[in-house]
Structure 1
């Protein structure tokens, strides 16, 4: 595994874990109501769902690569379009449309359930990993899969350590709540950037195969 591929997988797991979405909004809501310890419990439970969804996403990506470049490019095209749609929605978000999650009485159990049942988890994982790994698609093999899963877990865990560190701080909660719309829109711009990257790698290969 090359250093660039290693860093790309770590970055994919980190970005997937730290990018504001239902899980991140939920942990900020729980942290605001019950403090850092409850937020940490939620994230530890949520990590189980992340491991499952990221593993499934990596299996799909490696499988598409092994079946041929056309399958991977189709996956990249769909992922890029999905990320672009998510990013456009975030950029166009209005105040009051950003969902807040209430506190949980059992943060760990709530995190497990939340992580396993989040309907956006799998497509976002596929889209994020495809966008960042598409330029190194030729390096992906089934033999690498266990390491890819471990590295994505390490990246996601690092993101959660940062979230746990900041979620209990009062000024951070206040800052996040005050600028939540701006943060959501900036994340939308980042998603659009990932979408453009995925499309730039997928479209030339698809056009070449058609021609």
Structure 2
């Protein structure tokens, strides 16, 4: 049977996943807007590698390898909550000290860490690729899966390029530099809210 490669659906799914607001989007705006462009590219590269790894895991689940066990998702959620709390605290402390930019000492590694510890990656990728790409056909062999990963990663790349461009826009950089203290506090609190939501959801699953 001839396999039709879902090029545009995979591209759209990858782009949708990236531009959906979340920790990566906020980190890009808050951490990259006042940093050199090369740091932003490296940070986006780390996010991209992590997203690609999660896409492979998601497609393995669709292919019948089984979904991630609840215990693994809970452990991932706790790890991510702690990391997001760490990032949020850093932003708030930075604001209190009057520093205009968060420290990105290893932007590639920090972007990768944020992407890999995102507990929403697996369910969101399952939703967007399941709805846009695999709703009718499923996985039709290794070649089909490799093609989905290729076009999906191109969609990720387009999304992170858009995010990087937005964070480097003059109006965004000017606004952030002028109001970095309140903006940093808001972003820090949002990261803490993400962390609290994850921990609460994990605790409720254990009770139920």
Q: TM-score normalized by structure 2? A: 0.59
Distance 1:131 1:116 in 2: 23
1:12 to partner: Cα distance: 0.6
Structure 1, unpaired ranges of 5+: 68-74, 76-98, 181-211
SS in 2 for 1:140: coil
Name the structure 1 match of 2:23: 22
Aligned length: 145
Question: 1:2: how far off?
Answer: 3.2
Aligned CA RMSD, in angstroms, stands at 3.0
Query: Deviation at 1:39?
Result: 2.1
| Aligned twin of 1:37 | 38
* Structure 2 match to 1:195: none
Corresponding position of 2:47? 46
Distance 1:135 1:107, change over 3 A: same
Alignment of 1:114-133 (within 5 A): 114-133=114-133
Question: Which residue is equivalent to 2:201?
Answer: none
1:167 is aligned to 2:167? yes
Q: Which has the higher helix share?
A: 1
Counterpart Cα distance in 2 of 1:100 and 1:34: 19
Separation in 1 of the partners of 2:26 and 2:116? 16
- Cα distance change on mapping 1:111 and 1:56 into 2, 3 Å: same
Secondary structure (helix, strand or coil) at the match of 2:152 reads: helix
What is the correspondence of 1:36-185 to structure 2 with a 5 Å cutoff? 36-63=37-64, 102=91, 103=102, 104-136=104-136, 138=137, 140-143=139-142, 144-173=144-173, 174=175
> Does the aligned pair in 1 maintain the 2:62–2:138 contact within 8 Å?
no
Instruction: Please state whether the residue corresponding to 1:141 is helix, strand or coil.
Output: coil
Structure 2: gaps spanning 5 or more residues = 68-87, 92-101, 177-182, 187-208
Separation in 2, partners of 1:124, 1:11: 14
Aligned to 2:81: none
Pairing 1:2–2:14 present: no
Task: Determine the C-alpha separation between the residues in 1 that align with 2:15 and 2:25.
Answer: 13
